[in-house]
């Protein structure tokens, strides 16, 4: 042994030791883990698993395996004993033994030779371990013996006992009494079956006679049922009263012995007439609280008995004739068991005393036998090994005393066995834990550093850090010194720790390194969100962690304990680190989402609740809960789930199978806090009803329809509405109305009763029956009032009493012309026309208004040239004068007036001539932004001098009648200016025009650099193709102040699903901070939808809420570019549900679309200029900026055109400022006043709106 110890010290890492140790709970006292140790250790055998006893060979088992497995070094060798004798396994193919364990198996045909008591022994050079006895039994298929029975003959009132004597078998066993036709024998207080299967009759009755009482035993585990030969019972007439007697048990007293933990079962089956009552008593004390009485009190059971349940129990059977008793002596015993725990393996120093105690208990007291390496031994006073009942003493133990000791305790109820490994040796400390291990712990956590040592005698262990012995409240050293625990670690605890083990045989050391890491912490927690179904939800989780743990750091998202991952199978989930995006959210996504940030050392978590808002579920339990009358019912229902948004209303729909079968229509709406609707139904229809709910998200699905409900036919409930009286011809009156809908017929044979008479002239009504919703009355006087009534009726009666309405017969053209027409010249462009209105009788219809015919005959500047331009203006209503605007200054006119009604125009009045004087001119003001603080001002008209007035008292004079634009420089960037422009003639200056403008910020011109040159060449190319003059191209360039600050998007692509689309792009580094807008349009409805501003650095934008299988146009837009012109445009189509997604991804497509868009802008601008090229400048500007004085009376127009309103749009995408500022210069009226005058026309206000011709249609609502 000393030489071996020196070898240990020399070889250190490759030592082979003799070690007796069981790697089970019994060996815990040695405190040394063998697995993973730095040295290869020898150890004696230790049984780790074996087949428990007993083993029953079932009939359907083809083969059986008996296992025995042990651990040891060297590997153990196995042998078996059968009934105490060594067993040699026969060499047959159907009998096999394990090569690496002690298992053996055999075929069922060898079952008989393997029945018996077996024990497994596992041995190596260090000792032998053995198992408890394993008993193998062979189950014979249970069966009743073949028997014949004489009939059981008794008199009425006598007790009967029918014995079953069931065969033994594999539990569980169930017993029944049945007839040969498999009917159960009914049991009651008089007839009961005992646990042994016997059937007891307290007394016999004549109806107990039958020839086929059969006892049946069922064994469910082996799927077997057996039946005893039928027994016959004959009961003879006799009914004397009989005192009680006990059929079971017999005698006065019996003994019941059972083991602790079993269930106590006592039975008492009495005979006697009348049926005796059973009473149970425990002598001297109360029955246990666990007791239970069954089988009509004939069976007493107590589960899981212990010593306190033993004693004397009495069963008493009593009736009116007497009583009978039986006493049970209950004795509770128990098999052997360890008082505390099995004996522990021991490591002892050479020369010390070793005591092995086997402390067991049991009733009766167990007998203890001792073995060493599987061989029994007894007390030997001549040796150092003494056996003292339950203890073995090894006096001055030597290494040869090492081995495996067995303690076996047995009594009549069982056996227990313990294998105790005893190692007697001296050895210097051996470090089992690996050296230089690195431990990591989070700040504030607890760290445990291991230092497993094997030595004999035990070592004294010291822990050292930085050459100092460790001490302090936070440092805890285990009792054996083999672990150091540091509580609430700090950063300063990092470093090297030394474990030093020392005993009488030598010293060993071990070094460990501790690293204290920063804690993982969620600093930005996800927030609870409420999201509408079908849209996207985002959850964010911001984490701080120790950078040295980056390789093991990860963020995991869970939903209700299920981990969420990004996958192609379900692209709705996008998990990127601490960011979780759920696209196309549905109700299944509702729940609690947990962000788990973890490393290999710690983790932190935070949760947020995602609430999905959706349309409500369909109502349930829809029924007609009350019938107030045949046509008045109450419909009730139970609301469905509102999905987190309160229900605002319920909508009741109906479907009838007569007029529109299969078509559902709304019948009534009910408030969301109600669950019933009172319905009044049209008659004569067969109804289905259904209900759907509505919340703020939208309408939900409908409920299941009700059963059909039929209303009987009846007279109509209402008459036609919206009665109209018109006259298409002078001597005719057309009467029409809105017909009743089919469901309002209330029955068959619907028709209408029309009655009419002249208002205030006739007393009698004319009556006409019609089926169509119209009637023409001919030969009526022209335009006189009538009284009309329309009533509905069907085969079951007439509707309610109708109301009368008034209308007129047909109109004819007026017959008279206005008289006394006079013209009063107001100024150079407007006159006041007056006349005497025509008599009402000559209008012959509803007065529509008056037409003013005006012909410009000559221009007084050139009186020899005839113009002869005729125009007409219509003025509605009954009036006697109007203001005619828009005349040409210094011209000769001829004017006439006529009246009109719906039928046509009357004769013209006698013409009147007049001249307009020379007038002042008001120019058109047109401002345009340029690229850098310049302003162009357009001026048009015949002028002598122009003054440009700027606020802040700055004024600029523009001389020269042919100047039509003026450039102002020195303006401030991004500043707002208000301009006034006036035009003057010899007669004076006209009123000023006002215009507000916002100068743009400084930007680079679109036409600078290489890109600008390319665009100029492109525009010139299209100019040549369209044969535009060069001046048009120059003008276009002047009006095209674009900015190159538009972001350049690359690699534009789209990923399209059924309800959303993801638009992605990349940008250059210098353009990663631009704002753009994403717009999309459903190509079916043509409505554009715009996103909020999106930063280009985001790289993508998701459009959700799309409809499956729909074509959309998508644009990426910059607001600085031509009033929301697009940078990129594409057409996408969402896929139908179930189809795969189609992804379009190509930078070439984006580039081509951008070129096509710029080309389209150039073409449109050129065509606009070309179309305007035929007009002279003054005329063009007058069309663009008309006013009351300058608007002409256009040729061949009956109606006066609406006064136009100026609105300028600039590249910043905002509405023109002039729209707001011009409000200050108008009173907001939409039409002429009743007298047709322009009040305050020349003091600044502008009139908006137009004069429209009346429709002349007489519409009367009943």
Query: Rounded distance, CA 377 to CA 1059, Å?
Result: 86
Q: 1117 near 1077, Cβ under 8 Å?
A: yes
Tokens of 212: 């086929």
Among the ranges given (18-27, 558-567, 652-661, 835-844), the one the predictor scored with the smallest mean pLDDT: 18-27
pLDDT reported for residue 111: 84
Give the range with max mean pLDDT: 123-132, 970-979, 1206-1215.
Answer: 123-132
Report, as an integer, the average pLDDT of 696-720: 95
How many helices, marked H, and strands, marked E, lie in the chain? Answer: 7, 99
pLDDT reported for residue 1215: 37
Query: Rounded distance, CA 919 to CA 830, Å?
Result: 11
Report, as an integer, the average pLDDT of 500-526: 95
pLDDT reported for residue 1055: 83
Question: What distances in angstroms separate CA 123 from CA 78, 131, 518, 949, one per listed residue?
Answer: 6, 12, 53, 120
Q: State yes or no: pLDDT of 811 exceeds 80.
A: yes
Strand partners, 273: 242
Task: List pLDDT tens digits, range 849-861.
Answer: 999 999 999 998 8
Task: List pLDDT tens digits, range 55-83.
Answer: 888 777 788 899 999 998 899 999 999 99
Task: List pLDDT tens digits, range 406-464.
Answer: 999 999 888 999 999 998 888 899 998 999 999 999 999 999 999 999 888 999 999 99
Tokens of 1111: 């074509």
Q: 726 near 805, Cβ under 8 Å?
A: no
pLDDT reported for residue 241: 82
Among the ranges given (184-193, 737-746, 814-823, 1060-1069), the one the predictor scored with the smallest mean pLDDT: 1060-1069
pLDDT reported for residue 141: 82
Mean pLDDT of the chain, nearest integer: 80
Q: State yes or no: pLDDT of 203 exceeds 70.
A: yes
Among the ranges given (566-575, 663-672, 1201-1210), the one the predictor scored with the smallest mean pLDDT: 1201-1210
Among the ranges given (589-598, 681-690, 1034-1043), the one the predictor scored with the smallest mean pLDDT: 1034-1043
Among the ranges given (32-41, 837-846, 950-959), the one the predictor scored with the smallest mean pLDDT: 32-41
Q: State yes or no: pLDDT of 1159 exceeds 60.
A: yes
Q: 193 near 200, Cβ under 8 Å?
A: yes
Strand partners, 419: 406
Q: Which is it for the CA torsion 107, 109, 113, 114, positive or negative? A: positive
pLDDT reported for residue 727: 84
pLDDT reported for residue 990: 62
H/E run at residue 1016 = helix 1009-1026
Q: Please tell me whether residue 132 adopts helix, strand or coil conformation.
A: coil
Nearest CA to 687 out of 717, 663, 703, 719 is that of 663
Assign 120 a pLDDT band (cuts: 50, 70, 90). very high
Query: Rounded distance, CA 557 to CA 580, Å?
Result: 8
Alpha carbon 200 to its chain centroid, in Å, reads 66
Q: Which is it for the CA torsion 33, 36, 37, 43, positive or negative? A: positive
Task: List pLDDT tens digits, range 383-394.
Answer: 888 898 889 999
Q: State yes or no: pLDDT of 1235 exceeds 80.
A: no
Q: State yes or no: pLDDT of 10 exceeds 90.
A: no
H/E run at residue 10 = helix 2-11
Within 13 Å and on the Cβ side, how many CA atoms surround 1227? 13
Tokens of 1249: 């709106």
Among the ranges given (48-57, 291-300, 1235-1244), the one the predictor scored with the smallest mean pLDDT: 1235-1244
Assign 279 a pLDDT band (cuts: 50, 70, 90). very high
Assign 11 a pLDDT band (cuts: 50, 70, 90). very low
Which of 748 and 1164 is assigned the larger pLDDT?
Answer: 748
Strand partners, 344: none
Read off the pTM.
Answer: 0.46
Q: State yes or no: pLDDT of 955 exceeds 70.
A: no
Assign 30 a pLDDT band (cuts: 50, 70, 90). very low
Residues above pLDDT 70, as percent of the chain: 77
Query: Rounded distance, CA 450 to CA 459, Å?
Result: 15
Q: 608 near 582, Cβ under 8 Å?
A: no
pLDDT reported for residue 566: 77
Count CB-CB contacts under 10 A for residue 1091.
Answer: 16
Assign 1092 a pLDDT band (cuts: 50, 70, 90). confident
pLDDT reported for residue 987: 54
pLDDT reported for residue 988: 58
Assign 50 a pLDDT band (cuts: 50, 70, 90). very high
Which of 366 and 170 is assigned the larger pLDDT?
Answer: 366
pLDDT reported for residue 954: 59
Q: State yes or no: pLDDT of 1152 exceeds 90.
A: no
Task: List pLDDT tens digits, range 677-690.
Answer: 999 999 999 999 99
Q: 848 near 1253, Cβ under 8 Å?
A: yes
DSSP per position, 173-191: EEEEEE-TTSPBPP--SSE
Assign 970 a pLDDT band (cuts: 50, 70, 90). low
pLDDT reported for residue 920: 59
CB burial of 250-284 (b: ≥16 within 10 Å; e: otherwise) equals eeeeeeeebebeeebebbbbbbbbebbbbebebee
Task: List pLDDT tens digits, range 983-995.
Answer: 665 555 666 666 6
Locus of tokens 């462009």: 829
Query: Rounded distance, CA 609 to CA 558, Å?
Result: 12
Report, as an integer, the average pLDDT of 735-748: 94
Task: List pLDDT tens digits, range 225-255.
Answer: 999 999 999 998 886 788 899 988 988 999 9
Q: State yes or no: pLDDT of 143 exceeds 60.
A: yes
Report, as an integer, the average pLDDT of 493-497: 95
Residues above pLDDT 90, as percent of the chain: 54
Among the ranges given (276-280, 616-620, 828-832, 1178-1182), the one the predictor scored with the smallest mean pLDDT: 1178-1182
Which of 615 and 1059 is assigned the larger pLDDT?
Answer: 615
CB burial of 743-776 (b: ≥16 within 10 Å; e: otherwise) equals bbbbbeebebbbbbbeeeeeeeeeeeeeeeeebe
Report, as an integer, the average pLDDT of 821-846: 94
Assign 562 a pLDDT band (cuts: 50, 70, 90). confident
Query: Rounded distance, CA 1245 to CA 1188, Å?
Result: 10
pLDDT reported for residue 1237: 34
List the domains of the chain with CATH numbers.
2-138 (2.60.40.10), 152-333 (2.60.40.10), 334-424 (2.60.40.10), 427-517 (2.60.40.10), 521-613 (2.60.40.10), 620-710 (2.60.40.10), 721-808 (2.60.40.10), 819-915 (2.60.40.10), 1052-1145 (2.60.40.10)
Task: List pLDDT tens digits, range 885-908.
Answer: 999 999 999 999 999 999 999 999
């Amino acid at each position: 042994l000393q030489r071996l110890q020196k070898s240990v010290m020399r070889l250190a890492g490759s030592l082979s030791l003799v070690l007796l140790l069981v790697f089970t709970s019994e060996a815990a006292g040695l405190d040394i883990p063998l697995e993973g140790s730095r040295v290869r250790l020898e150890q004696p055998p230790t049984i780790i698993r074996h087949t428990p006893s007993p083993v029953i060979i079932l009939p359907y088992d083809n083969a059986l395996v008996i296992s025995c497995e042990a651990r040891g070094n060297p590997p153990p060798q196995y042998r078996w004993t059968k009934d105490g004798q060594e067993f040699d396994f026969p060499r047959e193919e159907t009998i096999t033994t394990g090569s690496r364990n002690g298992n053996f198996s055999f075929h069922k045909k060898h079952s008989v030779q393997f029945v018996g008591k077996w024990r497994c022994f596992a041995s190596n050079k260090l000792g032998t371990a053995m198992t408890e006895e394993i008993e193998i039994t062979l189950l014979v298929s249970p069966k009743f013996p073949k028997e014949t029975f004489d009939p059981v003959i008794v008199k009425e009132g006598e007790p009967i006992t029918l014995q079953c004597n069931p065969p033994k078998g594999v539990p569980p066993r169930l017993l029944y009494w049945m007839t040969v036709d498999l009917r159960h024998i009914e049991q009651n207080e008089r007839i009961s079956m005992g646990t042994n299967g016997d059937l007891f009759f307290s007394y016999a009755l004549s109806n107990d006679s039958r020839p086929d009482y059969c006892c049946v035993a069922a064994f469910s585990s082996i799927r077997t049922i057996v039946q005893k030969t039928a027994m016959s019972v004959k009961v003879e007439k006799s009914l004397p009263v009989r005192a009680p007697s006990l059929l079971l048990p017999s005698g006065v007293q019996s003994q019941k012995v059972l083991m602790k933990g079993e269930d106590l079962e006592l039975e008492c089956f009495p005979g006697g007439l009348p049926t005796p009552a059973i009473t149970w008593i425990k002598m001297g004390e109360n029955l246990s609280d666990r007791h239970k009485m069954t089988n009509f009190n004939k069976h007493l059971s107590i589960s899981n008995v212990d010593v306190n349940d033993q004693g004397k129990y009495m069963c008493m059977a009593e009736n009116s004739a007497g009583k009978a008793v039986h006493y049970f002596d209950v004795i509770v015993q128990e098999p052997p068991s360890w008082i505390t725990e099995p004996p522990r393996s021991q490591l002892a120093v050479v020369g010390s005393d070793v005591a092995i105690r086997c402390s067991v208990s049991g009733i009766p007291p167990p007998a203890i036998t001792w073995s060493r390496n599987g061989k029994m031994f007894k007390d030997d006073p001549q040796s150092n090994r003494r056996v003292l009942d339950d203890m073995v003493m090894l006096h001055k133990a030597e290494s040869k005393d090492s081995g495996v000791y067995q303690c076996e305790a047995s009594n009549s109820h069982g056996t227990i066995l313990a294998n105790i490994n005893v190692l007697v040796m001296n050895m210097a400390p051996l470090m089992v834990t690996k050296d230089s291990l690195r431990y990591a712990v989070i700040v504030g956590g607890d760290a445990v550093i291991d230092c497993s040592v094997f030595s004999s005698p035990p070592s004294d262990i010291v822990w050292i850090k930085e050459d100092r012995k460790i001490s302090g409240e936070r440092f805890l050293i285990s009792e054996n010194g083999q672990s150091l625990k540091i509580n609430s670690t700090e950063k300063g605890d990092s470093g090297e720790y030394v474990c030093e083990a020392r005993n009488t045989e030598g010293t060993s050391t071990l070094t460990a390194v501790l690293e204290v890491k920063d804690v993982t912490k969620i600093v930005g927690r996800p927030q609870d969100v409420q999201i509408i179904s079908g849209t996207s939800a985002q959850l964010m989780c911001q984490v701080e962690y120790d950078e040295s743990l980056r390789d093991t750091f990860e963020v995991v998202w869970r939903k209700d304990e299920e981990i969420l991952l990004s996958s192609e199978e379900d692209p709705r989930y996008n998990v990127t680190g601490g960011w979780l995006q759920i696209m196309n959210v549905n109700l299944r996504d509702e729940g609690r989402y947990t962000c788990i940030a973890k490393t290999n050392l710690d983790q932190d978590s935070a949760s947020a609740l995602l609430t999905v808002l959706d349309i409500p579920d369909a109502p349930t339990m829809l029924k007609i809960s009350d019938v107030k009358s045949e046509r008045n019912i109450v419909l009730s229902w139970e609301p469905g789930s509102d999905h987190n948004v309160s229900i605002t209303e319920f909508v009741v729909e109906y479907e009838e199978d007569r007029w529109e079968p299969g078509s559902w229509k709304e019948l009534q709406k009910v408030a969301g806090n109600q669950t019933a609707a009172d319905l009044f139904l049209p008659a004569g229809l067969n109804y289905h009803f259904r209900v759907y709910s509505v919340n703020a998200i939208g309408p939900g699905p409908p409920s299941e329809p009700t059963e059909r409900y039929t209303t009987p036919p009846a007279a109509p409930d209402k008459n036609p509405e919206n009665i109209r009286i018109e006259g298409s011809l002078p001597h005719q009156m057309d009467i029409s109305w809105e017909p009743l809908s089919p469901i309002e017929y209330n029955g068959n044979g619907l028709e209408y009763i029309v009655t009419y008479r002249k208002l205030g002239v006739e007393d009698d009504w004319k009556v006409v029956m019609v089926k169509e919703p119209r009637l023409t009355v001919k030969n009526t006087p022209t335009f006189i009032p009538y009284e009309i009534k329309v009533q509905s009726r069907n085969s079951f009666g007439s509707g309610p009493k109708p109301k009368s309405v008034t209308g007129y017969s047909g109109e004819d053209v007026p017959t008279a012309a206005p008289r006394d027409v006079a013209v009063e010249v107001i100024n150079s462009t407007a006159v006041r026309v007056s006349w005497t209105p025509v008599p009402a009788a000559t209008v012959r219809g509803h007065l529509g208004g008056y037409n003013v015919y005006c012909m410009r005959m000559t221009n007084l500047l050139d009186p020899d040239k005839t113009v002869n331009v005729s125009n007409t203006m219509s003025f509605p209503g009954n009036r006697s004068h109007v203001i005619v605007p828009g005349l040409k200054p210094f011209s000769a006119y001829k004017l006439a007036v006529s009246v009109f009604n719906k039928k046509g125009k009357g004769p013209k009045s006698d013409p009147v001539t007049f001249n307009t004087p020379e007038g002042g001119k008001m120019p058109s003001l047109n401002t345009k932004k340029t690229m850098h603080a310049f302003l162009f001002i357009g001026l048009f008209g015949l002028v002598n001098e122009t003054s440009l007035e700027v606020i802040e008292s700055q004024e600029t004079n523009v001389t020269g009648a042919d100047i039509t634009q003026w450039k102002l420089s020195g303006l401030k960037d991004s500043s707002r200016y208000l301009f006034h422009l006036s035009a003057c003639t010899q007669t004076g200056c006209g009123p000023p025009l006002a215009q507000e403008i916002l100068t743009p910020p400084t930007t680079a011109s679109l036409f600078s650099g290489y890109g600008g040159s390319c665009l100029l060449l492109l525009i010139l190319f299209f100019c040549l193709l369209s044969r535009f003059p060069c001046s048009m191209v120059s003008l276009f360039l002047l009006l095209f102040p674009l900015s190159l600050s538009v972001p350049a998007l690359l690699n534009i692509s789209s990923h399209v699903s059924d309800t959303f689309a993801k638009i992605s792009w990349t940008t250059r580094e210098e353009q990663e901070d631009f704002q753009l807008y994403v717009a999309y349009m459903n190509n079916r409805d043509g409505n554009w939808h715009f996103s909020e501003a999106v930063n280009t650095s985001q790289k993508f934008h998701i459009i959700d809420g799309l409809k499956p299988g729909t074509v959309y146009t998508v644009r990426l837009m910059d607001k600085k570019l031509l009033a929301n012109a697009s940078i990129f445009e594409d057409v996408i189509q969402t896929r139908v549900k179930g189809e795969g997604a189609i992804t379009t991804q190509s930078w070439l497509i984006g580039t081509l679309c951008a070129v096509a868009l710029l080309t389209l802008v150039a073409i449109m601008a050129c065509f606009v200029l070309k179309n305007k090229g035929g007009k002279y400048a003054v005329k063009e500007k007058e069309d663009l900026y008309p006013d009351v004085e300058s608007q002409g009376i256009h040729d061949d127009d009956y109606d006066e055109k609406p006064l136009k309103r100026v609105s300028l749009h600039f590249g910043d995408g905002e509405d023109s400022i002039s729209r707001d500022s011009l409000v200050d210069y108008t009173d907001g009226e939409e039409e002429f006043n009743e007298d047709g005058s322009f009040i305050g026309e020349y003091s600044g206000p502008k009139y908006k709106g137009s004069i429209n011709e009346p429709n002349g249609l007489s519409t009367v609502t009943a």
